[in-house]
Structure 1
Amino acid sequence: MSDPDHRRKARPTMDLDLLIGRLEVTADKPDSKEPGLGSPVSPLMGQIPEGSASSSTTSSSGSSVTGKSTLSVKKPSDSGDSLKKPTDSGDSESVCTKRQVTGNILCSPDSRRNPVKAAATGLVVGQIPATGNVLPSGNIVPSGKVQPSSGKLQNLRGSRSDVLGSGTGNYGHGSVVRGGRAGGGGETMAGASGHINNVEEVKRKGNEEYRKGNMERALVHYERAIAMAPENAACHGNRAAALAGLGRVWEAVRECEEALRIDPTYLRVHQRLASLHLRLGQVENAWKHLCLAGNPPDSNELRRIQTVERHVNQCADARKVGDWKSALREGDAAIAAGAESCPQLFACRAEALLMLHRPEEADAALSSVQNFELSSTSLSLTKFFGMNGNSYLFFVRSQVDMTLGRFDQAVSAIERASQIDPRSSEIAAMANRARNVVRVRAKGNDLFNMGKFIEACVAYGEGLECDPSNPLLYCNRAACRAKLGQWERAIEDCNQALRFRPKYTKAILRRATYNGELEKWAEAVRDYEILRKELPGDSSVAEALFHAQVALKKSRGEDVHNMKFGGEVEAVSGREQFRAAISLPGVSVVHFKASSNYQCEQISPFVDALCERYPFVNFLKVDINESPAVANAENVRIVPTFKIYKNGCRVKEMICPTEQVLEYSVRHYSL
């Protein structure tokens, strides 16, 4: 190499700005530039492997200098681990894992004509030498050029924001960064090397919280990093990972889309989007991003997508032919296989349950759909079962509301579905059906209130022609027929209502009443016992059950003169009184107590409440100090003790039970 004096003589004077603008470093990926750790005079600077840089040729005139150095840069890791395969973990997104650094002098005609433009795009000045720690031959001003006067230098500094680069370009060989961006990752390098370090520090803290499972805290750090570097694709990818960990899947999808807007070749984000779309049941989108995430695709993810796709297709086929059991099974299998955040599959589950006459369970299944967010605009045209994905949710919601008698909500839901997908024939038919049912139901109610029961029956019948599986219309028509004394036909309508909604308590109560009118006491008792399980605190149901039981026993010729309904807890003082009381038909609950015992005093008010809550149960109390003979005969030594008798036979004994255990036992043996 020529000494500096020889180069000064051979090279013509060249303007500093032109020389600076002719130099550039290009990065192969638009991610944030990773800061280097030192300068060529620092002992911390890592040695470049021998042979990693190609030779360069410099003409004596300085008119052209060509050369290229390829430097493999290992990504700084917060934990010191080696670079890992892209996953959904919260590890810091690699800005780039292998960077090609090219130091071409006079690299293009544009740089010759407009050196300021070339420098403003974030080009780093300097040619990377092939050796390691080499002393500088001129820090900023190239060797051989006379430094400008202090005034000129001051003007230079005032007009430009030139700083020494903090990257891996060798410090001192002209590593000057013009006041733009370097590396395309959105990190401002000019005068902001500390800013980059701050972003990396914030990301590192976010990664630490992510690894600990503190997604909320990790999200806060990632959002701070985005605020500092909004055009950094890695920051958006990290935020997407935290959102996915919190179950905010649609937000995670949008964040990944933003990362891909910045860097369309970001492979790790494509892989993450494939996983997110799979969770949402968006099989086609999952396929697309999986193919872009790498070649060949990840085998595990590929298998998951294939499994979900198979179950979704089989679910659609079963729904098309009305095989609702298979549709329910396949939809649940798709959810279990990975589509656990797909609202359409949960809506399909609700629809299948509704068609299997389990509307309450269908309503519960739809409650989970309310926790999901509607599809983003980019996915709003995705089809499920031949209709728009969002409109399908409202379509099912309308069906469930109609069955449960929430007609106004049903009409509102189907109208929203029509607005989203006005071309769906299935939605249009459902909308017409809902409007007709609401109209004729209102007409029937008005006629019933006016006492026109025959006309009301006709109106409800018109509604059933539109919706032949609506339990509320059957139940209302049963009430009309009961007013007309048509008990048998009224019971038939109740049976139809319960066929489509087996837990419809109003229909069960009406059928029990109508069976009582026909003196079908066994059927009436059966219905009232069902209602007691569904409505344990309803005293009117309890009293109706008691009277039906009395009537049934009487019809069988049993003694019923001592049976009574309700009352207070009866005090028992003698053995004969005790034996007579527990021998009464039905259930008797005996509370053995002592007035001086604290636990007995604590639970006594609850026993009084149970007496009111279960009026058909006979409640007794025995003070063991006042009636020792009864206590000795029943072998009671500890209080409070409860014994339950049924038709004179002891069926249960409890010592110091909790209130919950006591009530459960009373309810169990009284049914």
Structure 2
Amino acid sequence: MEPELMETDALEILPDAGLEEPQANAESLKQNGNELYKQKKYMEALEMYSQAIRLLPCAAYYGNRSATYMMLNKYNDALADAQEATSIDKEFTKGYQREGKCLLALGNPVAAIQSFNKSLVIEPNNQTLIAERESALKMKEHEEEAHRHYSSGDFRRALFCISQCLNTAPNAVSYRLFKAECFAFLSKYTEASDIVNTILAVDNRNADALFVRGLCLYYGDEIDKAQQHFKHVLRMNPDHTKAKDTYKKSKCLIQKKEEGNAAFKSGDHQKAYELYTDALSIDPYNKLTNAKLYCNRATTSTKLQNLQQAVDDCNKAIELDEKYVKAFTRRAATYTGLEMYEEAVRDYETVQKLEPSQQNARAVKDAKLELKKSKRKDYYKILGVDKNVTDDMLRKAYRKRAMLHHPDRHCNDTPEKQKEEEKIFKDVGEAYAVLSDPKKRSRYDSGADLEEGMGSGFGDFDATNLFQMFFQGGAPDFGGGFEGFGGSHRRQHQRSGFPGGGYQFHF
């Protein structure tokens, strides 16, 4: 809505009625300005009012020029003219009203309310003034809420509140920069930069705009460039508190991260873990840098054999940066170490989607093979040995497990228990038969049997025959007094019909 133009009571006399020439000329210029204003030729109108003011500085002329500046979105100039008008005429209601509108447009609702109050002292029943003051009061409330949410770190709600202010004052630079800063904290760097660039295109020495641009770089993990911006801001305004604080944080963050990296490279993993932890406490809002720190700490945790902590840190890294390939890769490797193969496959598939490559495709294939291997019998677990077991240790493990689960040891158990022990006994024999054969063990370890679709290949395995062959030089002692398979002793052995066939020992 266009501001209403002023007419002055003192200058309503026409030029041909004996008015002094400067006044007559000024009035004529004002009238010309009014016509141009109505035609929306604001620059031409501005010139007319300026000429009138040079001839006769009066409240009405300043008021009209103020209105014209407002139409050109030059609110600082408009405010200066409105304030000049009210200084000339203390009862100039329209001057106070324009002053309030300019202050509102510039994002200063507190001062705007004071100006509207001055108008209302003169015209207390003016409904337009009452409505405009109410608008200023609401804007003040939204502004206070925005700053409150900002201080508490709720940038999303702060953004909503400042957007309400911008509905009333869309050109307020302070509000636009506040909005850009909220965007930066919310990782919306493109939106923040668009606002900042528009402001800097008009005023390239706006320190607050340069700070927000630096903030976008800082949170975008371009810390070196960000520091250059902060130093530039501080050269322009040494007391710029936000630039000073953020620059200090950025320096501390880089220092701690580099110290952690150095400790890790030197092999002091516990110190590296502590340094990364210290770095993470410096600035919780720097998501991308903190994601790297969490991933670095996860790598350190794997060196410290704390795999679950490594997974937790990878989770935090991915939460901060959902496209962080290294974090997915680290978590997948850690899941493999924890034998959580399905989770590992999912992470490697995500890595392949984010960065397709032959290497990542191979990682997916290998993870799926490990998943298949995990679903078959784990011969190492069955025998209670690790994958680096020697032949001698393997024989000892088999002897111990075979004797523990031999059916004769459980002949007095319930049928269900006997059946369970017989199955374990068979699995123990199958595990030993495979792992004690170098070729079979190699195929088992590599998963070649799975890739060839052969499964374990021991469905008809005779565990009892293996047991007999293993103890051919002397049968096991299940309770003392047994000296071997060949002699006549207190125990006899004979062929029996328990699963797989073989020898049953009688006490």
TM range (shorter): 0.5 to 0.7
What's the CA shift for 1:406? 2.5
What's the CA shift for 1:256? 3.1
Q: 1:254 aligns with which of 77, 80, 103?
A: 77
1:94 correspondence with 2:6: yes
Tell me if the contact between 1:398 and 1:410 (Cα under 8 Å) persists in the aligned partners: yes
The residue type equivalent to 2:2 in the other structure is S
The residue type equivalent to 1:177 in the other structure is E
Counterpart of 1:502? 321
How many Å separate the matches in 2 of 1:307 and 1:412?
39
Look up the SS of the partner of 1:467 in the other structure. coil
The residue type equivalent to 2:83 in the other structure is L
Look up the SS of the partner of 2:356 in the other structure. helix
How many Å separate the matches in 2 of 1:438 and 1:364?
26
1:434 correspondence with 2:347: no
> What are the ranges of 5 or more consecutive residues in structure 2 without an aligned counterpart?
374-507
What's the CA shift for 1:288? 2.2
Indicate how the Cα distance of structure 1 residues 394 and 526 shifts in structure 2: closer, same or farther if over 3 A, else same: farther
Tell me if the contact between 1:394 and 1:413 (Cα under 8 Å) persists in the aligned partners: yes
Counterpart of 2:101? 275
What's the CA shift for 1:230? 5.3
1:466 correspondence with 2:312: no
How many Å separate the matches in 2 of 1:238 and 1:543?
72
What's the CA shift for 1:229? 4.0
Q: 2:133 aligns with which of 283, 291, 302?
A: 302
Structure with the larger RCO, 1 or 2 (CA within 8 Å, 6+ apart): 1
How many Å separate the matches in 2 of 1:99 and 1:479?
79
TM-score when normalising by structure 2: 0.54
> What are the ranges of 5 or more consecutive residues in structure 1 without an aligned counterpart?
1-87, 102-166, 183-188, 211-217, 377-389, 559-671
Q: 2:356 aligns with which of 541, 551, 561?
A: 541
The residue type equivalent to 2:170 in the other structure is E
How many Å separate the matches in 2 of 1:413 and 1:525?
43
What's the CA shift for 1:235? 6.4
Indicate how the Cα distance of structure 1 residues 90 and 334 shifts in structure 2: closer, same or farther if over 3 A, else same: closer
1 or 2, which has the higher strand percentage? 1
Indicate how the Cα distance of structure 1 residues 373 and 288 shifts in structure 2: closer, same or farther if over 3 A, else same: farther
Tell me if the contact between 2:106 and 2:172 (Cα under 8 Å) persists in the aligned partners: yes
Tell me if the contact between 2:106 and 2:171 (Cα under 8 Å) persists in the aligned partners: yes
What's the CA shift for 1:200? 3.7
What's the CA shift for 1:527? 5.0
Tell me if the contact between 1:341 and 1:372 (Cα under 8 Å) persists in the aligned partners: no
Indicate how the Cα distance of structure 1 residues 441 and 224 shifts in structure 2: closer, same or farther if over 3 A, else same: farther
Tell me if the contact between 1:509 and 1:528 (Cα under 8 Å) persists in the aligned partners: no
How many Å separate the matches in 2 of 1:269 and 1:531?
65
Q: 2:191 aligns with which of 364, 371, 374?
A: 364
What's the CA shift for 1:286? 0.9
How many Å separate the matches in 2 of 1:463 and 1:221?
60
Counterpart of 2:458? none
How many Å separate the matches in 1 of 2:52 and 2:358?
72
How many Å separate the matches in 2 of 1:525 and 1:341?
52
What are the within-5 Å matches in structure 2 for residues 447-526 of structure 1?
447=262, 452=266, 454=268, 460-468=276-284, 470=286, 471-475=288-292, 478-479=295-296, 482=299, 486=303, 488=307, 491-499=311-319, 501-503=320-322, 505=323, 508-518=324-334, 519=336, 522-523=342-343, 526=346
Give CA deviations for 1:102-129 in whole Å, capped at 9, x if unaligned.
xxxxxxxxxxxxxxxxxxxxxxxxxxxx
Indicate how the Cα distance of structure 1 residues 477 and 557 shifts in structure 2: closer, same or farther if over 3 A, else same: closer
The residue type equivalent to 1:541 in the other structure is P
What's the CA shift for 1:393? 6.2
Indicate how the Cα distance of structure 1 residues 492 and 480 shifts in structure 2: closer, same or farther if over 3 A, else same: same
Give CA deviations for 1:157-206 in whole Å, capped at 9, x if unaligned.
xxxxxxxxxx53764xxx3736xx32xxxxxx5xxx4x864664354234
What's the CA shift for 1:90? 5.7
Give CA deviations for 1:455-514 in whole Å, capped at 9, x if unaligned.
876765553343355441551563586499649465544433344x334x3xx2002222
What's the CA shift for 1:287? 1.0
TM-score when normalising by structure 1: 0.42
1:340 correspondence with 2:170: yes
Indicate how the Cα distance of structure 1 residues 303 and 375 shifts in structure 2: closer, same or farther if over 3 A, else same: farther
Tell me if the contact between 1:418 and 1:428 (Cα under 8 Å) persists in the aligned partners: no
How many Å separate the matches in 2 of 1:203 and 1:441?
66
Tell me if the contact between 1:391 and 1:421 (Cα under 8 Å) persists in the aligned partners: no
Indicate how the Cα distance of structure 1 residues 475 and 423 shifts in structure 2: closer, same or farther if over 3 A, else same: closer
1:286 correspondence with 2:132: no
How many Å separate the matches in 2 of 1:364 and 1:339?
19
Indicate how the Cα distance of structure 1 residues 271 and 393 shifts in structure 2: closer, same or farther if over 3 A, else same: same
What's the CA shift for 1:347? 4.7
Q: 1:205 aligns with which of 29, 36, 39?
A: 36
The residue type equivalent to 2:224 in the other structure is D
Identity of aligned residues (%): 17
* Matched residue count: 349
Look up the SS of the partner of 1:475 in the other structure. helix
Give CA deviations for 1:541-578 in whole Å, capped at 9, x if unaligned.
365664455445545559xxxxxxxxxxxxxxxxxxxx
What's the CA shift for 1:330? 3.3
1 or 2, which has the higher helix percentage? 2
What's the CA shift for 1:391? 7.2
Counterpart of 2:14? 168
Tell me if the contact between 2:331 and 2:347 (Cα under 8 Å) persists in the aligned partners: no
Counterpart of 1:588? none
Give CA deviations for 1:562-601 in whole Å, capped at 9, x if unaligned.
xxxxxxxxxxxxxxxxxxxxxxxxxxxxxxxxxxxxxxxx
